[in-house]
Structure 1
Amino acid sequence: MISGWKEFAFFECTPVADPHSLSNSSRLFSDPSVVSYSPSTAGSVLLLTSSGRLKEFNNQLEIVADYEVLDPSQRQADLVRAVPNTRLALVVSTQTGAPLEMRVYNLDTGAFHSACKVQNGANTFPLTCFDMLDDLSVLVLGFADGSVYAVRGDLRRDKGTRQRLVHSASTSITAVSLSQSGDNVFISAVNSILVASTTTSKRVIPLERTRGADLHCLAKVPPRNIGNGSGVGLDASFKSTSNQETENGSDTDNVVVARETDVVYYNLYHRGASFELPVPKRQIFVTGDGRYLVVVAVYQPQSASLLATETLRVLIVDLNNHLIAFNQYLSNGIRAIFECWGGINVVGSNGTLYVLKEKDLVTRLNLLKQQNLYQIAIKMAINAKKNTHTSEFDVHSEHDVSSALEDSNEYVLQLHQDFADYLFEKRDLEGSLQQYIAAIRQGQTSKAIKRFKDAQHTGLLLRYLESVQTHGIATPQHLTLQLICLTRMGADKLSELEVFINTASMVEDFDFETAISVLMETHDPNYEKLAAILAEKMGDADVAVQIWLLQLDEVERTLDYIQTVPVADALRILIQNSRVLLDKMPVETTGVLISLFTCKFKPRSAGKSSIKSEAREIEPSGDKASALFEPLQSYKAFMDFLKSERYEGSKIISATNLEQDADPSYLPPKPRLIFPSFINHDREFVVFLEACLESAPQFHSPEKDVRDLASTLFETYLKVSATESANRLLGKYASVLDKSKVQLVSQMFNFRLEADYKFLLGFALEEIVRQSIEQGSFSEAFDFFMTHSNQRNDKVTGSQTDMASVSVTDLCHQTLKLFVSNEQALEFLIGQNKLMLLLDKCMSSGKLTAAEILTEIGASKYLQIKDVKPFILQILRTSQQEQIKHLKLTDSYRSEIWEKMQAIVKQDNLVFQSSDCAECHMPLELPVVHFGCKHSFHRACVPEGQNRNQNNSPKCPRCLPETEALESLRLSYEQESAKEDYFLETLHSREDKQKVIADFISRGALSIIR
């Protein structure tokens, strides 16, 4: 056990024997003459023997190639390197006193490809270390005499090379490592570490002046390990301090040096991080992904006599997580370490290949969880996710990559969840909360919520719920619970609660009832306002209005909000709450109602208005009441007030809103829906009804709706004693008003209907006159009769038609009777000298004869002969004048008849010129019969004994049909004229009696009587 380090068995060690160990010529790693190993990018391993043979074998330990590349009698084989991404291999050989030689061979054919030689003085010192770039453009060699040479050129294409001495030290060179660009090389000697340039011999940067590195104890660190900021403080130690460092690649060119007590990192400019590892080190090796450092350490027992041979210890250090991932002792020595076939391969001196395979991620994480090392496990899982395309996962396709990433994500989240549970059990609530938050995307939020459900943990639960919302996985239950926590936290979290309600992205998914209930249970106006705002955002206009209006008594805010909701919601809300709104703010509420019921309501976006003033409750009294009710006298006065400077509610409703064009997107609601809200608000009702009536023609409202509006407005006018307005309404809408309802309402409010309005409403004429006389309005009755005595009320329809006809026929008779039978009415006529006008009107209209008038006059007990003497004299004069006129007319008719008779006598005889018989159409031959109609017939063609007239003379056969038709008509007239009852009935039923009499006379009634 190494002090300060935790050890785990993250690797499985499998010893593999050489299958070719029995054949001297085919032996692989069991051959003791092998001097160098090198893995290739093709998945095979190269080995070079001291006998000069180059072999290649695959993961099945099958020999792929076997070539002789050196003559052991002439040169000594030193090392072999596979050229990445090619089928080439570089073989380095030396010979004392001769230049070092590097040859390139083709692995497919074994043919020599290219070569170069390096001269190091007298060539008496051996090669100690070597490094090269993958394309063979730069090669670096270190020798035991302290010399370091750089070879630059194109050895891969055999285009020549040149060597340069880049450094010369007094001690042996133990390691060299090229930078990625090949312009610099790390050099370690026994007592120093430095960086030299391969392009110029003058540039040397010392990194350590007193401490160097042992042979095989310096290794190149892949850029990934430093760049990802993981490991034991490497990210902080290797941050560039200048632009030059960044340009020269100090962030990616790094080496690690192992010493007896510690391990140190270096970049191109300075020393970096280090960590303690107190074991004697023989060799180190860094894996290709930079995660692991393989250390070959010397086992030192407490007593040197315990072991007869040297025992080595193989340690694998996890550089990212600072732990020992593998620790095993090998009793024999180690010849080589290389990475291939998805694992670390150690060649033992006993000819056994030890294959170290990393266990799968889940197994490693479970090992860490068993010791409650959750932080390391989480870090390892996160790094594994980053290393998906490396050996961390066994992936072979994009599908494998996706599946590996998904599994890694799930496992990381589960680790956070388990770590949170562990910390909670340890009562580390803060740490537990952080881990629960990290595991939010796993979706198991209920567990964390149950952990922190107690009241004393409300703050922690709130932070967790905020994180749930931030991650975008909040459900309605989460949001509601978050709101509850903010509410429980009191005034300290009020501002946060406001922000939460105003900005929550899933506010429509709240558990609405619970959230509102929690806020309202506080009985705090601040929270009740938030409840109203939440209801607004949720679109529940009814709840929002109930809170604003009934709980908070913010009337202006209520009216303002109503104008942001759809028409249907606004209508429903106003129907339910208009009575309260009218009590508080009559003018503004009336304006909003008018806009809604006249299709001028256009919902605006919420938040456009800023209501600051308080609700004003109207309590009128005296002169103050007159001033307050001034804008509610009429719709016109209402609009004028909205345009004046006295109006303070323009932020809610303005004249502009009511003057704009109607919104065609909806039909006006039935005004009767809102009528009950105007109880005890008659003046506001007047304004509303006038506005609705004014807009009715625009929407072609049905006559029933117009009648309903007009009738209601008429009644309201009478309630507020606006009789002039009521009369104007009757004059304008009499055609649609219900006569009986108007009459009933008028009686209720003691309102007298004028005769002209009664006529427009369809009252019978004699009824209008009678009511006027009974009410003492004699002048009105007289004027109405004089105006309408010759008119028929066409507004009377249906069952009233017969009554109207009777009223027109008997109007004169009834009017005269009413006047002369009423003493006061008669005094009015006599006093105003209008009696004669009345009698003349009855005579001139032709409705009453002189006899009928005299009969009515004679029946009056209030009329004296002197009052009607002028009328009687006028009747006598008129009668005498008519008699004289008729006599003269009779004489003129007689004279005219006599003249016509004389003219007939003097006329010549008729001349018949017909040559053909009108019956048989044959030429006429005597005897012939001629008729006065100028038709001529053979005597034989005229029927004998038939068709004779009263004189027994034959009738013309051709004219016989017309003659018989006229005779039938004359007989029917004579029969009707003989019916005296029918004549009298017709005379009384018809308005034009003179026409009836003339019609009967024309039918021969007088001749029958005579």
Structure 2
Amino acid sequence: MSLAQWRQFNFFDKQVVPDPNDAKVSPTIFKKCDIGVMTAGLDKAFKAQTFLAYDGGRITHLKLLKQKNILITIGEENDTQHTPVIKVWDLDTTKKPVTTPTTPDEPTLIQPSCLRTIKIQHNEKPFPITTFATVENMAQMAVGLANGTVLLYRLDLLKDKATKPKVIYEGQEPITGLGFREQTKSTILFMVTTTSIMSYNTTASKPSVVSTVTLDEQGCGLGCAVMTDTQDMVIGRDEAVYLYDPTGRGPCFAYDTPKSSLVWFKSHYLMIISPPVITSTQLSTSTSRTTIGAGSSSSSSNNKNNRGTTHDLTKVTIFDTANKFVAYVGTFTGGIRGVFCEWNALWVVGLDGKLYRLDEKDTPTKLEILFKLNLYVLAINLAHMQKYDDASIADIFKKYGDHLYSRANYDGAIDQYIRTIGQLEPSYVIRKFLDAQRIYNLTNYLQELHAKGLANADHTTLLLNCYTKLKDVSRLDQFIKTDADLNFDLETAINVCRQAGYYEHAVYLAKKFKEHDLYLDIVIEDMRDYDTAIEYIRHLGPHEADKNLQKYSKTLLGHQPDQTTKLLVELCTGTLPMGSSTDTTNGHITPIVTAVASPTPSLKNSTALAHLPFAAEGTTSPQSTHHHPHHHDRTTSKSGLGYNPPSPRTFMPFFVDRPDCLAFFLERILETRWSSTSTTKLSLQAQEERKATWNTLLELYLMDEQPHPTTSTSPATSPRLNGIALTPREKLKRTKEFKLKALALLKDETVQYDTNQALVLCQLKKFDEGIVYLYEKTEMYTDILRFWMEKQETDRVIEGVRKYGPKDPSLYPMVLTYFSSTPEILAKSTSELLSVLRHIDEKDLLPPIQVIQALSRSNVATIGLLRSYIGRKIQNERNELQQNQELIQSYREETDKRRKEIEDLKTSARIFQVQKCTGCEGMLDLPAIHFLCRHSYHQRCMGENDNECPQCATQHRMISEIRRAQETSADRHDLFFDQLDNEDDGFSVIADYFSKNTMAFAKLID
């Protein structure tokens, strides 16, 4: 695009600068610029200071350094050859004014210090200087001559007194432009002639390095080469403007018009000054021609030949090269002497001595102009260049977006609104695009809002609803599967995907960010993929698995009973892996089995779009992909439990519909967790847990109906095994197996179940073997026989009385009563009845009266059954009576004998005729000791303290101890009653006490 085609604005204000002392005229200093030997400087008040630079010559070039107050002048000496001389002036070390002005218009004459004076000669011949350039630190300066030679001065021109220039270029065409480009490791000098453009590396030291490089085979005229702030060379030719860097030609701007000079202003403005054009006020059309100077002879010739007044008009155009528009176009009457940049403005000096100032409009004014023209892109670029803050730039983007929105350019508008994120309230944009039903554009905006981390839960909900409305699964995947930090509300995103029927995306998020509760809720409640749920729980670790199984066990047992039961066994036995982070999918969503998913989301899911002003019909969800879950290999630690397993009782209620699985669950718990653990090693709580587990397992074994696993997902209406109905024989066989297990459990000595509870269960479930075993275990023999009697199991009664009768004689009366209860039983058990009677008789277990009473409780038993028993008992009684009478007679005779002996001892003398010593059996001699028991001893055979017969002493002491014991026990009534209670024949105990005269002692003590 050429410069002529750029948009044109008037961003500069042109005004004639008046003289401070006379507002009607321009400053007088600019009318006297023809004084070549003097140089002058101005301040903002146009107070002039002058000094004599050259004696008799003219000044051709001036340059004031930017970083130092150093002025460089090039002038001609007043000699015959007009040798050009370079002088360097230090304006900071000026001497006191030489003269003081007497009038306001008179300048002040000063005398600055001249630091250096350098005569410019080539081949000892002076040539006019066409252009020169220097670096800011004055380390190098290049001088271009009219003969096509370029001289380079090195080192610090402010310090070195003698500097010999180096000829770095000699050509045939005059030098029209010079400029330095300071780089990090080198300094490049641009050299421009009328026919070529070259660069020279002034810091190259190696001869092998080619220092001069031709950049272009075309040059430019004098004054049409200028350096930019970035140290690129700008070349102006009639057809275009070119930029050059050390590598060659850069950007090019087509501007087909003659150019007399170029000026670079600030960082991006290029002023192009065209040659003067002569115009006549009496011509209908302006006749123009290009002139070299305002006062040329050709111009004078034409003025004489034309009628009317003619003017020289010089056109000035200012281009904004950064934003590519024309910032100013103006004409100046009378031609232009020069242009300089100072005090943030452009100053134009006319040939007529007038001074013009071009002031750039302030940025707000320029922006308002652009806003009125709807040129928002230029306004934004301009604001960026002026370092506007983000809020101000965002306001421009908002205006630009509003403009595009009003023209129904929604795509462009949303792009601008996106750039306001962080500054503009999102609700402003959302309302616009909701009203317009531009969901696609709104989606882009919300997506960027999330990308910058400025979205809230409502924005996340709206974005996901937009995705689902647009059925844009790819963008939904991209949004959800981003690996960057979470920049949206996770729970909201999961819930919206779930409500809209995008279950796969919901579970992806839940799994990735370890929202275990949400993941399982979706997989189980919505997708019904129970296998995946079970595998997921298995890898959560004991704590999370416990928490989630408390919530979902009943559902999982209803659909996957076997896998769920195994998982519960692992958890409660301490063999569940300690847990590792569940694998998250990278790049794709793991396919999940959806048992009841439909191609389109449920109508109730459309409520997620209810707040949007559009209908939700036709919304479809992605098809679910069937997937078979992988079973991971797991190893169980053999070093013991890695965690404290939860109580099995907390999971028992979940098996209410699956008692078969509960039985398997409890069996594995008891087998794995408590099989080898002794009771002493368990805490009281653990013992209670184990006892409750055994009790529950026993109850399961004794259930009337044993349900079986089913492959159906709905509750089975009849017991099934692997989906096949069991036959009656199979059912009976399975019931017997459980009965055997129950009995084995009851008989297991290591099992510490609750006996009372077990007995109640066996009675409720009519488990005869269990009831009998528990009665026997608790020594309730009477209940055993009574149990069999109630069932009229005579054989079992007979077996029981044989087995338990010796342990409990009270069973016999009960058995006799039972045998004689009915004729049928009596007929069946007559032989056993007689056998029982013989056994009672032989063991003397019951007195005859009890036998007769037991048999006489019914009219079934006859006297004939008891004839032999009664006969034997009467005969035995008679024999016993005879024996007792004989014993009594012997006791009486012995008693009479003892009484007579006592009486003799009391009334008659005892004659001792013993001749031998009872102790040594030697002949008895005096002294001798005689006892009434008729034993005699030598005195020497007796001990000093012996007062009784040594031979009868033992018997006497025994009698004394018996008597002493009787006296002691006479007051121990508790011993008497204990013995009375423990003996079967209480009368014998009383008789024994009387026989030992204990009662007499008791009476004597009382």
TM-score (norm 1): 0.66
Structure-2 separation of matches of 1:1002 and 1:744: 55
Secondary structure of 1:162's aligned partner: coil
Indicate the residue corresponding to 2:452 in structure 1.
Answer: 471
Once the two structures are superposed, the pairs formed by residues 841-852 of structure 1 within 5 Å of their partners are none
Correspondence 1:675 to 2:653: yes
Measured on the aligned residues, the alpha-carbon RMSD in Å equals 5.4
Aligned to 1:221: 228
Give, in angstroms, the shift of residue 324 of structure 1.
1.6
- Select 1:415's aligned residue among 393, 396, 401: 396
Classify 1:286/1:789 alpha carbon distance in 2 versus 1 (closer, same or farther; 3 Å): farther
Cα distance, 1:323 vs. partner?
1.0
> Shift of the alpha carbon at 1:175?
2.3
Alpha-carbon offset, residue 317 of structure 1: 1.0
**Does structure 1 residue 684 correspond to structure 2 residue 655?**
no
Question: Secondary structure in 2 aligned to 1:418?
Answer: helix
For residues 469-515 of structure 1, the C-alpha deviation after alignment (integer angstroms, 9 at most, x for no partner) is 3334343333333333333334xx43543454444734653535862
Change (3 A) 1:616 1:477: closer
Measured at CA, do residues 3 and 775 of structure 1 come closer, stay the same or move farther in structure 2, by a change above 3 Å?
same
Q: Secondary structure at the match of 2:699?
A: helix
One-letter amino acid matched to 1:729: L
Specify the alignment match of 2:532 in structure 1. Answer: 557
C-alpha distance 327-552 of structure 1, shift in aligned 2 (>3 A):
same
Q: Deviations over 1:577-627 (max 9, x none)?
A: 65554454332122123234445455554348999998999xxxxxxxxxx
Q: Distance in 2 between matches of 1:81 and 1:750?
A: 123
Offset of 1:373 from its aligned partner? 1.4
Q: Does 1:188 align with 2:185?
A: no
- 1:761-813 CA distances to partner (integer Å, 9 max, x unpaired)? x574433343244445667667767777798xxxxxxxxxxxxxxxxxxx423
Match of 2:618 in 1: none
Residue 94 in 1 paired to residue 85 in 2?
no
Find out whether 1:275 has 2:253 as its counterpart: yes
- Aligned pairs for 1:715-734 (under 5 A) are 715-719=699-703, 720=706, 721=735, 722-732=738-748
> Does the C-alpha gap of structure 1 residues 818 and 506 become closer, same or farther in structure 2, counting only changes over 3 Å?
farther
Closer/same/farther in 2, CA of residues 165 and 616 from structure 1, 3 Å limit: closer
Q: Tell me the TM-score normalized by structure 2.
A: 0.67
Equivalent position of 1:766 in the other structure: 782
Q: Is the 8 A contact 1:315 1:324 kept in 2?
A: yes
User: Do the aligned partners of residues 771 and 429 (structure 1) sit closer, same or farther apart at CA in structure 2, a change above 3 Å counting?
Assistant: same
Distance 1:896 1:151 in 2: 170
- 2:38 & 2:649 partners in 1: Cα distance? 110
- Give the Å deviation of 1:677: 3.6
Distance 2:324 2:590 in 1: 65
- Per the alignment, residue 63 of structure 2 pairs with 81
Corresponding letter in the other structure for 1:1005? M
In 1: Cα distance, 2:782 partner to 2:47 partner: 135
Q: 1:748 to 1:173 in 2, by over 3 A?
A: closer
Deviation at 1:891, TM superposition (A): 10
- CA deviations 1:425-476 (Å, max 9, x no partner) are 3333443343334444445444444454489844444444433333343433
Q: Measure how far apart 1:688 and its partner are.
A: 1.6
Aligned to 2:922: none
Residue 746 of structure 2 is aligned to residue 746 of structure 1: no
Unaligned segments of structure 2, at least 5 residues? 94-111, 280-284, 288-306, 597-626, 707-734, 907-929, 936-963
Q: Distance in 2 between matches of 1:330 and 1:663?
A: 96
Residues 793-832 of structure 1: matches in 2 within 5 Å?
811-819=808-816, 821-823=818-820, 831=832
Task: Write out aligned runs for 1:857-896 (5 A).
Answer: 861=861, 863-866=865-868
Measure, in 2, the Cα distance between the counterparts of 1:417 and 1:540. 39
Query: d(CA) in 1 for partners of 2:334 and 2:934?
Result: 180
Helix, strand or coil for the counterpart of 1:142?
strand
Opposite residue 766 of structure 1, the aligned amino acid is T
Contact 1:766 1:815 in 2 (8 A): no
1:363/1:664 CA distance change after superposition, 3 Å: farther
Is contact 1:265-1:274 (8 Å) kept?
A: yes
Distance, in Å, in 2 between the alignment partners of 1:58 and 1:886 is 167
Structure 1 distance, partners of 2:402, 2:561, is 63
Code of the residue aligned with 2:810 in structure 1: it is H
SS of match in other structure, 1:812? coil
Matches within 5 A, 1:590-669: 590-602=565-577, 604-607=580-583, 651=630, 662=641, 664=643, 667-668=646-647
Give the deviation of 1:81 after TM superposition. Answer: 3.2
1:1005 to 982, 999, 1005: 999
The answer as to 2:85 corresponding to 1:104 is no
Counterpart-to-counterpart distance in 1, 2:883 and 2:977: 28
Residue 839 (structure 1) aligned with residue 840 (structure 2):
yes
Deviates more, 1:109-118 or 1:983-992: 983-992
- Report if the CA contact (8 A) 1:693-1:706 is conserved: yes
Q: Post-superposition shift, 1:725?
A: 0.9
Q: Distance in 1 between matches of 2:897 and 2:58?
A: 179
| Amino acid across the alignment from 2:582 | A
- Number of equivalences: 811
The alpha-carbon deviation at position 683 of structure 1 amounts to 2.1
Q: Is the 8 A contact 1:113 1:158 kept in 2?
A: no
Q: Per the alignment, do residues 727 and 203 of structure 1 end up closer, same or farther by CA in structure 2, a change over 3 Å counting? A: closer
Is the contact made by 1:755 and 1:784 (CA closer than 8 Å) also made in structure 2? Answer: no
Looking at structure 1, the residues matched to 123 and 4 of structure 2 have their Cα atoms a distance apart, in angstroms, of 47
2: CA distance, partners of 1:1001 / 1:664:
73
- Structure 1, unpaired ranges of 5+: 36-48, 224-252, 385-391, 393-403, 521-526, 618-647, 792-810, 908-966
Which one of the candidate residues 409, 422, 428 is aligned to 1:428? 409
Per-residue CA deviations over 1:905-941 (Å, capped at 9, x if unaligned) read 999xxxxxxxxxxxxxxxxxxxxxxxxxxxxxxxxxx
How far apart are 1:131 and its partner, in Å?
0.8
Write out aligned runs for 1:772-787 (5 A).
772-776=788-792
Aligned to 1:287: 265
Residue 821 of structure 1: CA displacement? 4.8
Q: How far is 1:536 from its partner?
A: 5.4
Residues 10-29 of structure 1 aligned to structure 2 (within 5 Å): 10-12=11-13, 17=18
Aligned match of 1:132 in 109, 112, 134?
Answer: 134
For residues 316-331 of structure 1, what are the structure 2 equivalents within 5 Å? 316-331=318-333
After superposition, the Cα gap between the structure-2 partners of 1:459 and 1:568, relative to the gap in structure 1 and judged at 3 Å, is same
Aligned counterpart, 1:483: 464
Query: 2:292 maps to which residue?
Result: none
> What do residues 94-129 of structure 1 show as CA deviations (whole Å, max 9, x unaligned)?
225264333334333243434433213565543221
Tell me: CA distance 1:2–1:837, structure 2 relative to 1, closer, same or farther (3 Å). Answer: same
C-alpha separation in 2, matches of 1:575 and 1:690: 20
Identity %: 20
Change (3 A) 1:668 1:973: same
Could you tell me how far apart the structure 2 residues matched to 1:883 and 1:359 are?
Answer: 157
Asked whether the 8 Å contact 2:812–2:836 carries over to 1, the reply is: no
CA offsets 1:193-232 (integer angstroms, 9 cap, x no match): 44456689997555555x5433222101233xxxxxxxxx
Residues 202, 905 of structure 1: CA spacing in aligned structure 2 closer, same or farther, 3 A cutoff? closer
Shift of 1:293: 0.8
Q: Is the 8 A contact 1:770 1:815 kept in 2?
A: no
Q: Which amino acid aligns with 2:395?
A: Q
Matched letter for residue 373 of structure 2: Q
2: distance between equivalents of 1:885 and 1:611? 105
Give, in whole Å, the separation in 2 of the partners of 1:611 and 1:269: 55
Residue in 2 that maps onto 1:621: none
- Say which SS state the counterpart of residue 582 (structure 2) adopts: coil
1:254 aligned to 2:232? yes
Q: Is the 8 A contact 1:194 1:207 kept in 2?
A: yes
Deviations 1:659-696 (A, max 9, x none): 8954536633634x5435442x3322211222344536
Show the counterpart of 2:29. Answer: 30
Equivalent residue number for residue 497 of structure 1: 476
